[in-house]
Amino acid sequence: MKSGETELPEYSSSDEDFVDPWHVASKSATGIDYDKLITKFGSQKIDDNLITKIENLTGKRAHHLLRRGVFFSMRDMHGILTLYEQKQPFYLYTGRGPSSEAMHLGHLIPFIFTKWLQETFDVPLVIQLTDDEKFIWNDITVEEANRYAHENAKDIIALGFDINKTFIFSDIEYISSCPEFYMNICKVQKLVTYSQVKGIFGFDVSDSIGKISFPAIQAAPSFSSSFPRLFKSKKDIPCLIPCAIDQDPYFRMTRDVAQKLGGVKPAVIHSTFVPALQGVQTKMSASDPNASIFLTDTDEEIRIKIKRYADSEGGINMTDEHKKRGSYLTDISYQYLTYLMTDDDKFTQIERDYACGVLAREQLQEILIKLLQKIIGKHRQNRALVTKEMVKQYMTPRNLECSIVT
Ligand code: TYM
């Protein structure tokens, strides 16, 4: 089985959790063991000390996605905080692979957190739309992939990123307009061997050369020299990449070559996966519409999807059942609320009531349905206000404002 397909590749071991940019699967009923993943990937756990340090330095309460352990792993975050403390610049880099017109709830998580990072640290942000990647991997035309990039840009803009500090770009468009970006891609391509990408991504000899060379394109935005018009020609500004942990293989590879090409190793902060509607053993994914809540779903579709999941449990008496199981942590409605409910007091109360059975599962689902309808309804309204002209503005390379980039 090749990378890019939905079934697990042959090189995955059958009894371990499997995570790469295209597949997420766990055999365990409790889902991915994220502590084991930290050990396997060689990243570091985000502990209370780091969260306190962020709060002390910024004077802001940590985001609920940090406090609840959704962003759980990192590379070089302490270095980024030192830069901030010393009033040295850094920038944020994240992205989206525009495989379809609609993004799902899982995709929102890194973007919501990135917006908080941008506001909290007052730093510039670049967002890569890998329309080239989606053309190479999926059964869509290159024109469709580019159109989806512009549609997805509307969803991203609707989240409220500061236009003066944010640059969104489609690979197909930016590569042809910025030689410095392409030069960095070439440098990475020269430094990484086939054997290395095979080891990191599981490619094999029947994969297209487009797939094999693509990781260099996702690596290049980690270097500020790829953006000469954004950073007043500063070439060595360090970068921090927020993403879910499926994207880590790209940045392990990037960190390996960074110094050899005269760049700085990017720092990374990783989130867990919003699970599929069917359970915690895999992630919400655009390739399975029944496993996902899309930002285009209507109120009715949201209700049906959440309820259908409930039906799959066979209509048992949830209160007694989950009391007996003694575990509510893997319940999908509970999991989604962990990601989405920002009100701590309300969340803690719900958690307490649900854990001891005071709150029945149908009631928990109702709370989730209402919250999802509110969040997605608001998103729909905000997205409707995003014009083509606004998309063009965000996607035009220009000097980005930042109090500490001089
Ligand atoms: P893509 O489009 O698969 O995903 C976009 C972002 O969403 C994260 N993500 C999730 N987060 C939580 N729960 C989920 N179920 C879930 N599914 C996806 C991804 O980790 C990602 O952060 N190749 C990339 C695009 C890209 C990129 C980047 C992403 C280019 N440069 C830099 C992050 C950082 C992709 O196809 O993402």
Give residue 399's identity as a one-letter amino acid code.
N
Q: Which residue has the tokens 């967002």?
A: 127
How many angstroms is it from 371 CA to the middle of ligand 1?
A: 23
Instruction: Return the closest-CA partner of residue 34 out of 69, 76, 78, 75.
Output: 69
Angstrom CA distances, 144 to 95, 141, 149, 176, 208, stand at 18, 5, 9, 18, 20
The shares of helix, strand and coil residues in the chain, as percent rounded to the nearest 5, are: 50, 10, 35
Task: Convert the pLDDT of each residue in 24-59 to its tens digit.
Answer: 999 988 899 999 999 999 999 999 999 999 999 999
Least confident of 24-33, 213-222, 367-376: 24-33
Computed over every residue of the chain, the mean pLDDT equals 91
Residue 96 and residue 243 share a domain:
yes
CB atoms within 10 A of CB 223: 27
Measuring CA to CA, which residue among 235, 228, 270 is closest to residue 251?
A: 270
Atom of ligand 1 nearest to the CA of 24: 15
Looking only at the bridges linking them, the beta strands covering 44-45 and 71-75 are antiparallel
**Are the beta carbons of 399 and 230 closer than 8 angstroms?**
yes
* CA of 363 relative to ligand 1 center, distance in Å: 32
**What residues are in contact with ligand 1 under a 6 Å CB criterion?**
93-97, 106-107, 109-110, 128, 130, 133, 218, 241, 243-244, 246-247, 271, 273-274, 283-284
Strand 18-19 relative to strand 24-25, pairing = antiparallel
Same domain, 321 and 248: no
Residue 195 has pLDDT above 90, yes or no: yes
- Which of 3, 72, 92, 107 maximizes ligand 1 atoms within 8 Å of its Cβ, making it the mutation to test the pocket? 107
Q: Which domain holds residue 58?
A: 17-276
- The continuous run of DSSP H or E covering 74 comes out as strand 71-75
Considering only CA atoms, which residue is closest to atom 35 of ligand 1? 97
Asked whether residue 392 is domain-assigned, the answer is no
Tell whether 234 and 296 lie within a shared domain: no
Are residue 136 and residue 186 in the same domain, yes or no?
yes
- Do the domain assignments include residue 406? no
Is 166 among the domain residues?
yes
Ligand 1 atom at minimal distance to the Cα of residue 107: 7
Which atom of ligand 1 has the smallest separation from the CA of 221? 31
Q: Is residue 267 part of a domain?
A: yes
Q: How far is the CA of 186 from the centre of ligand 1 (A)?
A: 23
- Please tell me the distance from the alpha carbon of residue 276 to that of residue 336, in angstroms, as a whole number: 10
Cα 382 to ligand 1 centre (Å):
22
Lowest average pLDDT, out of 193-197, 329-333, 396-400, goes to 329-333
Task: Ligand 1 pocket test: pick from 241, 247, 294 the residue with the most ligand atoms within 8 Å of its Cβ.
Answer: 247
d(CA 76, CA 248): 13
Any domain includes 346: yes
270-274, 306-310, 353-357: the lowest-pLDDT one? 306-310
The vertex-69 CA angle with 376 and 46, nearest 5°, equals 135
Here the tokens at position 243 are 């993403």
- Look at ligand 1, atom 21, and give the residue with the nearest C-alpha: 243
pLDDT recorded at residue 322:
53
326 CA from centroid of ligand 1 (Å) = 33
Same domain, yes or no, for 92 and 226? yes
φ, ψ of residue 404 to 5 degrees: the values are -105, 0
Q: Do residue 240 and residue 319 come from a single domain? A: no
Given ligand 1 and candidates 246, 281, 292, 338, which is best to mutate, with the most ligand atoms within 8 Å of its CB? 246
pLDDT at 359: 92
Tokens representing residue 227 in the block: 């953006």
We report the CATH number of the domain holding residue 318 as: 1.10.240.10
> Which of 254, 276, 298 is the C-terminal boundary of a domain?
276
405 domain-assigned: no
- Measured CA to CA, the distance from residue 88 to residue 303 in angstroms comes to 47
- 228 and 339: one domain? no
Number of domains, the chain? 2
Question: Residue 266: pLDDT above 60?
Answer: yes
Distances (CA, A) of 197 to 5, 209, 213, 312: 17, 11, 9, 40
Around Cβ 36, how many Cβ atoms within 10 Å?
11
Tell me the best of 241, 243, 285 to mutate to test the pocket of ligand 1, counting ligand atoms within 8 Å of each CB and taking the most: 243
Same domain, 245 and 347: no
Query: Counting Cβ atoms within 10 Å, is residue 42 exposed (0-12), middle (13-18) or buried (19+)?
Result: exposed
Residue of 219 and 1 predicted with greater confidence: 219
pLDDT band at 234 (very low <50, low <70, confident <90, very high): confident
Ligand 1 atom nearest to 283, measured from its CA: 15
Rounded CA-CA distance 187/261 in Å is 7
* 291 in the same domain as 247: no
Q: Does 396 map to a domain? A: no
Same domain, 329 and 251: no
Question: What are the Cα distances from residue 225, in Å, to 83, 168, 234, 247, 379?
Answer: 18, 16, 7, 22, 34
Whether residue 149 lies inside any domain: the answer is: yes
- For 125-163, write each residue's pLDDT tens digit: 999 999 999 999 999 999 999 999 999 999 999 999 999
For 56-106, the pLDDT digits (tens) are 999 999 999 999 999 999 999 999 999 999 999 999 999 999 999 999 999
Q: In 300-384, at which residue ranges do the beta strands (DSSP E only) sit?
A: none
Residue 333 and residue 234 in one domain: no
Choose the final residue of a domain: 276, 302, 335: 276
One domain, residues 62 and 206: yes
Which pLDDT does position 137 carry in this prediction? 97
Ligand 1 atom 9: residue of nearest CA: 107
pLDDT the model gives residue 11: 46
- Read off the pTM: 0.94
- CATH value at residue 37: 3.40.50.620
What's the CA-to-centroid distance between 277 and ligand 1, angstroms?
A: 18
The DSSP letter of residue 104 is B
